[in-house]
Structure 1
Amino acid sequence: MKRVPITLRGAELLREELTRLKNEERPRVIAAIAEARAHGDLKENAEYHAAREQQGFIEGRIAEIEGKLSNAQVIDVRTLAPSGRVVFGATVELVDEESGEELTYRIVGEDEADIKSGLLSINSPIARALVGKSEGDVAAVEIPSGTRSLEIIKVQYL
């Protein structure tokens, strides 16, 4: 099975969600199912069917998280020797050479990506163009409207 890279923080967030689902959400739904069963006829019991649907969602999410964690390759960038090179987990400060816009991204695993929060998937075109480059390099990123040139100002391993 292919190992999927994930940051230490991303793995911690998945473990926290898994714990919450197992220790809080699952028992709450089981209690709701038991209460709905006590109301009688299950065929026409909307509360029962809603609780069962919620239980299915929770169990599915638990299985999904457990699968992700079992296939995860947790990478702690703080253990890397600072080299100024862009690697998985690094935080990169960039300047768009055309517009002068300053950007800051952290390169993370696919499941952690959130572009609005500055978390960029390792599989994104921008991240693929940046990985392996060093401070001062210019990365040419192919986007639908053409090529975007991003100069790497600073690389941090936080």
Structure 2
Amino acid sequence: MTETTTGTVWLTQSKYDELRAELDTLKNETRADIVKRVSDARDEGDLKENAGYHAARDELSKVDGRIAQLTDMLDRAQVGETPADDGVVEPGMFVTVLLGGSEKKFLLGAREMADESEEIDVFSPQSPMGQAINGARKGDTVAYEAPNGKSFQVEIVDAVPYRG
């Protein structure tokens, strides 16, 4: 994802610091190492048959994409502490809802908030469901319209701060 997206990205201070450190490492160390490998491979001669050159260029493209993504996200970041454990749905909460008769659990916030080792669903506060449930309380039922035009009712079963 290299294109700029709109909207605020909610991050805890620790997650912001972690992403900032990743960005600094990518910009100041990783990218420089890859650029050197591209240059060294270019000096070897014929680029058409130089697998090392093409691999380094591909890696450089991926790193540049991640740098752009992190820069955009950190520019739009709203840094705050973990929300209060008061049952009110807001970014940074791990939410349990009843949707279509099934229970669904997810983090309301940015994908980058979730610990990479965890396989949890993440819904953006800017998504139709995210907008509908933001500010709702445990026990509330809210309705929203999906992008396909269908209407859904969601009951908030639980909302607790995500501790990642």
Asked if Structure 1 and Structure 2 have the same fold, meaning a TM-score greater than 0.5 normalized by the shorter chain, the answer is yes
1:21 counterpart residue number: 26
Change (3 A) 1:64 1:104: closer
Number of residue equivalences: 151
Cα distance in structure 1, aligned partners of 2:7 and 2:142:
27
Change (3 A) 1:31 1:153: same
Asked if structure 1 preserves the Cα contact closer than 8 Å seen for 2:93 and 2:107, the reply is: yes
Counterpart check, 1:129 vs 2:119: no
Equivalent residues in 2 for 1:136-155, closer than 5 Å:
136-143=139-146, 144=148, 146-155=150-159
1:104 counterpart residue number: 105
Cα distance in structure 1, aligned partners of 2:48 and 2:158:
62
The runs of 5 or more residues in structure 2 that have no matched partner are 1-5
* Larger Rg computed on CA atoms: 1
Equivalent residue letter for 2:127: S
Asked if structure 2 preserves the Cα contact closer than 8 Å seen for 1:3 and 1:73, the reply is: no
2:78 partner SS: strand
TM-score, normalised to structure 2's length?
0.70
Cα distance in structure 1, aligned partners of 2:149 and 2:72:
37
The Cα RMSD (Å) is 3.2
Equivalent residue letter for 2:145: E
TM-score, normalised to structure 1's length?
0.72
Q: Deviations over 1:56-99 (max 9, x none)?
A: 55345324423431332113224x3x332111211211123x42
Asked if structure 1 preserves the Cα contact closer than 8 Å seen for 2:87 and 2:137, the reply is: yes
**1:129 positional shift:** 0.9
Q: Which runs of structure 1 show a deviation greater than 3 angstroms over 4 or more consecutive aligned residues?
A: 40-57, 109-113
